[in-house]
Structure 1
Amino acid sequence: MVKRTLAFTVAILTYILIVFGGYVASSESGMGCGPDWPLCNGKVIPILQGDTLIEFGHRVIGALLFILAVVLYGTIKKTAKHELEKKIANWMLLLLSLQLIMGAIIVFYHLPSLIISTHLLIAMVFLSLLIWYWRNEEGNGFSEIETLQGYKKHLNILILLLFFTMGIGAYVKHQHYGLACGWLSCGDSILPGSLPELLQTIHRLSAFISVCYILVITYIVVTKNIKILKSRMVLALFIIILQIIVGVITILSFISVSFAVLHIALAALLFAIIIEARISLSYPHNLDR
C-alpha cells in the first residue's frame, strides 16, 4: 500500500512538472536562472521574480520529485516480491538520472530544441513506469488473457502513435514552428512547402490519426461492453477532441501561453490514461468485462 501510494504521488508530481515545464517553455523562462546549474544565477536561492521565479519553481518541483522518486526506489528494492519490479525500478532510476543530466545540458547549451523534446519524452516514459507501479497491486507480472490480446495490441500501437505525436509536437514548439501553418492550411496551400510547414503538418496528421484510432477503439469497446476499457476510452476520446480544439485556438491566438500550456497538459493526461488502460488489461484482478 505504501509503495502504491508513493508511486501515485510521484506520478502526480511528474505530471505537474511536465505541465509546469510546458509553462516554462511557453513563457520563454527557460533561461531564468542563466547558464547556471544546479545553482540559479550563481545562488542557491536567487532573487525570486520574473523568469527566475518561474524557472526556479520548476527546479524546486524537480528536486522534490527526485527525492520522492529515490525514496520510492528504496521502498521497491526492500519490498519487491518479483524480479520484474526490481528491473523496472532500475530503469526508473536510470531515466531519472538521465533527466538530471539532460536538464543540465539544456541549461549549459541554451535550450537546444532536440534535447528539450527528448527531455519531455523521457519524462513520459518515466511517468509510464510510475503508473505501472501504481496499478500493479499484486506485483504478479503480466497476464496473458487471450480474449484481450487484440485490445492490448491496439493500445500498444496507440501509445507509440501518441508518443510520436508528442515528440514531434514538442520539437515544432521549441523550434518556433507553431505558426508555420494556419489552423487548417499552410499559407496559400493545404500541402506544406517548407521544412517548418512539413513538420507541423506531420504533427497534425499524426494527431488526426490518433483521434480516428481512439474513436474506432472506443466504438468497439462500447459496442462490445468491455467494461474495463469503456469508461477509459470514452474519457480518452473526450480529452483528445478537447485537445484538438485547444490546439486550433492556440494557433488562432498566435500561441497564447495559457492555451499552449493547456495543450501539453491535455496531451500528457491523454497519454497517462492510455498507459493506465493498457496496464490494467494485464492483471487478472482488473478483468471485469
Structure 2
Amino acid sequence: MKQLRILRLLAVVTAVGAYVMLLMGAIVSKTESGQGCGNSWPFCHGQLIPESMPIATVIELSHRVVSGIDGFLILLLTVWSWIAFKDNVRIKTLGFMSLFFVVLQGGLGALTVVFEGDFTKKFALALHFGFSLISFASVVLLAVTLFEQQKAVGGESRPVGKGMKIATWGLAAWTYVIVYTGALVRHSDATMGCGFSFPGCGTTLFPDFTSIAGIHMLHRYGAYSLWLFSLLFLIAILKAYRDRRDYVRGGWLALGLITLQAVTGIVTVKTGGQLVAALVHTTIISIYFSVICYLCMQGGWPWKRKLERTEISSNPVTT
C-alpha cells in the first residue's frame, strides 16, 4: 500500500537522522565543542545565527540543528505509526520510546549547556549519550517492525525459552552499562589514560579506579567481558536454537560487531584517540546494541511463558 511505503521511507530517513544525531554528539564531545554556543540554549550565543562562527560554534550549532530536525521526524513518525497501527502494541511502544528518549536526551543536553561543573561534564553528558542510544535503537527497531508488517508469519520457529530470554535481556543491559563506562571515558578525557599501552595499563593491571587510568581500565575490562559474553551467547544459540534463524544470524552478527568494536578500540588507543577511529567505535557499538535489542524483541519478555508474535491487527488506510 502506498501509505505504508511512505511510512517505511520516513522510518528509514528518521533512523539515518538518529544515527547522524548520535554521531554529531560524539563529534561535539570529542572536539570539546560543547560550549561552542556558550551557555545559551536553544539559541547560540543568544542569537538564532551567531555573528561569529568559529569551528566549535559550527560543530555545536550543527548538532543542535540536526537534533531538532530529527526530533521533528521522530515526532511525525511516532504519531503516524500510532494512527496507522493503533492496535499494534509493539509499534506503539517503540514509537513512544523513540520520542520519549529523544526529548529526554535533548533536555539533558540543554542542562549540560546551561549549567557548568564537574558533575555536568562527566556524568550528565554520559547519560546524554546513553539516552541518545536508546532513542536510536528504538527508531531502528520501529523501522524494522514496519518493514515486517504484512509478511506471512510462519509457524516453523519454536518459542525461545525463558533462560535464553534472560540471557538476551541481560546482554542488552550489560551492553548499556559498558556504553556508559565508554561515555565516561570520553567525558573524563581518559581515552589516553593508559597511554598507548594495551591490553594492560603499562605495568599496572588494576590502577586506582578513581584515577584517569582507572576509569579507562574500568571500561576496558568491561569491554573484555562483553566480548566474552557475546561469544558464550552465540555458543548457547548454536547449541539450543539452530532452528531460529533470527537468533543465529543475530548471534553471529553480534560477535562480529563486538570483535570489530574491540579492534577499533585498540586503534583508538594506538592512534592517540583520533577522531575517525572514535566515531567508528561509536558507530559499531550503536549497531551492536540495536542487534541485541532486536533479539530481545524477537524473543519476548523473560517473564512471559509463551512467545507473543505481533499480529497485523490494524492496517494503514489505503490511498
**TM-score > 0.5, shorter chain as reference:** yes
Please name the residue that 1:210 is paired with: 226
1:122 correspondence with 2:131: yes
Moved more, 163-172 or 124-133: 124-133
Letter in 1 for 2:166: K
One-letter code of the match for 1:164?
Answer: V
Deviations 1:78-110 (CA, angstroms, capped at 9, x unpaired): 223327344554444332322221111111124
Report SS of the residue matched to 2:287: helix
CA deviation map 1:240-275 (0-9, x unaligned): 111111112212222122212221111111111221
CA–CA distance in 2 between the matches of 1:151 and 1:9? 33
| Distance (whole Å) between structure 2 residues aligned to residue 105 and residue 147 of structure 1 | 42
SS in 2 for 1:195: coil
Match for residue 271 of structure 2?
253
Structure 2: 5+ residue stretches without partners: 151-156, 301-307, 312-319
Structure 1 position 118, deviation (Å): 0.4
Q: Deviations over 1:180-219 (max 9, x none)?
A: 2232223432111341333322212221111111112223
Q: Which amino acid aligns with 2:208?
A: G
Q: Is the 8 A contact 2:71 2:99 kept in 1?
A: no
Counterpart amino acid of residue 78 in structure 1: I
- Percent identical residues: 23
Equivalent residue in structure 1 for 2:252, among 234, 237, 242: 234
Which amino acid in 1 is paired with 2:100? L
The amino acid that maps onto 1:60 is V
- Kept after mapping to 2: 8 A contact 1:131/1:275: no
What amino acid sits opposite 1:157 in the alignment?
A: G
1:125-176 Cα distance to aligned partner (Å, 9 max, x none)? 222322332233459xxxx964444332221111011100001110121011
For 2:244 and 2:93, the matched residues in 1 are separated by: 31
User: What residue number does 1:184 align with?
Assistant: 199
The answer to whether the aligner puts 1:41 opposite 2:45 as a matched pair is yes
Match of 2:74 in 1: 69
Alignment of 1:157-168 (within 5 A): 157-168=170-181
State the TM-score, normalizing by the size of structure 1: 0.86
Structure 1 unaligned spans of 5+? none
What letter matches 1:135 in structure 2?
A: V
Matching residue within 95, 103, 125 for 1:97: 103
User: Which residue type is aligned with residue 140 of structure 2?
Assistant: I
State the SS of the aligned residue for 2:280.
helix
- 8 Å Cα contact 1:172/1:199 also seen in 2: yes
- Shift of residue 48 of structure 1? 4.4
For the aligned residues, what is the CA RMSD?
2.7
Indicate which of 239, 245, 262 corresponds to 2:280: 262
1:48-63 equivalent positions in 2, closer than 5 A: 48-63=53-68
Quick one: which of 29, 32, 37 aligns to 2:36? 32
The residue aligned with 1:16 is 20
Distance across 2 between alignment mates of 1:266 and 1:9: 19
Farther-moved stretch of structure 1 (56-65 vs 270-279): 270-279
| Equivalenced residues, count | 283
Structure 2 letter corresponding to 1:172? V
Whichever residue aligns with residue 291 of structure 2, its letter is I
* Residues 135 and 279, structure 1, Cα contact 8 Å, conserved in 2: no
Q: Which amino acid in structure 2 is aligned with residue 82 of structure 1? A: D
**Cα distance change, pair 227–93 in 1 and its aligned pair in 2 (3 A):** closer
> For residues 275 and 87 of structure 1, do their structure 2 counterparts lie closer, same or farther at Cα, with a shift above 3 Å needed?
closer
Q: For 1:4 and 1:222, how far apart are their aligned partners in 2?
A: 32
Provide the residue aligned with 1:81 in structure 2: 86
Contact kept in structure 1, 2:192 and 2:269, CA below 8 Å: yes
The whole-number CA distance in structure 1 between the counterparts of 2:95 and 2:309 is 22
One-letter amino acid of the counterpart of residue 62, structure 1: S
2:33–2:56 contact (8 Å) kept in structure 1: yes
Q: Name whichever structure is richer in helix by fraction.
A: 1
SS at match of 1:112: helix
Answer whether contact 1:135 1:280 (CA < 8 A) is retained: no
Match of 2:305?
none
Could you state the TM-score of these two structures normalised by the residue count of structure 2?
0.79
The residue correspondences of 1:119-158 to structure 2 (distance < 5 A) are 119-136=128-145, 137-138=148-149, 146-158=159-171
